[in-house]
A and B are shown apart, each in its own frame.
Chain A
Amino acid sequence: DAGVTQSPTHLIKTRGQQVTLRCSPKSGHDTVSWYQQALGQGPQFIFQYYEEEERQRGNFPDRFSGHQFPNYSSELNVNALLLGDSALYLCASSRVPGQGEAFFGQGTRLTVV
């Protein structure tokens, strides 16, 4: 049983560019959440997708957007990249929101130069 998978593992982008990160949830999970983890800090909640809709959102600007597909996989898009967007981006999946633990992927390390 594959766990949560994310791609790519590492990415380098230039300021002002746009980036798309991808996530496939654990089998049997239909809810995907995205987190940003800056170096030396805990993960910060970006948003959550369930039934192809954004259900909850953290304190992140509109430059951060997402999508969930019918197969429950998800994308995180960040526009107009800033140096401060450099971080580890984590995807977590769970069953119906509020139903137990979230499983995390290994993350995508984004470096903005």
Chain B
Amino acid sequence: GESVGLHLPTLSVQEGDNSIINCAYSNSASDYFIWYKQESGKGPQFIIDIRSNMDKRQGQRVTVLLNKTVKHLSLQIAATQPGDSAVYFCAENQAAGNKLTFGGGTRVLVKP
């Protein structure tokens, strides 16, 4: 399959441990943030989103934290599984339309 993110920062995590992926965004006007997961040979897959009027949102095994003061976003994955191995991107969306600006991405490798 296609290899995505050959030169990306890598987070190695033991299966069952929690993972934390960080992202700094650039635009103070951004009001909507999304985390995407991209597996080799596939397009980005939506994981979780958060609007700028919130600072925390939880999904199934995932939590997104937003700190607007320092323009920082994080994704926490609980009990990381082998299927979580992928490249993770944060994306910010400004108020006008779905023009997403993506961060550089982090590769997560889950060790059995």
Contacts and interface: CB of A to CB of B under 8 A. Distances in A.
B29 interface: no
A98 interface: yes
A89 to B, nearest CB: 10
Nearest to B95: A98
Interface string B1-28: 0111111100000000000000000000
Contacts of B36: 104
Please classify how large the interface on chain A is, using the bins under 10, 10 to 19, 20 to 34, 35 or more: 20 to 34
B8 A40 contact: yes
Interface stretch (A14-22, A43-51, A68-76): A43-51
A100 B32 CA distance: 9
A35 B99 CA distance: 10
A87 B87 CA distance: 17
Contacts of A48: 97-99
Interface stretch (B68-76, B77-85, B102-110): B102-110
Contact of A104 (B5, B44, B49): B44
B98 A33 contact: yes
Nearest to B2: A109
B112 interface: no
A40 B97 CA distance: 26
Contacts of B4: 37, 39-40, 88
A101 B43 contact: no
B99 A42 contact: no
13 contacts: A4-B43, A40-B4, A40-B6, A42-B91, A42-B102, A42-B103, A42-B105, A48-B97, A56-B97, A97-B96, A101-B34, A102-B98, A106-B42
Interface of A: 4, 31, 33, 35, 37, 39-45, 48, 55-56, 58, 88, 90, 92, 94, 97-107, 109
Interface of B: 2-8, 34, 36, 41-46, 49, 89, 91, 93, 95-105
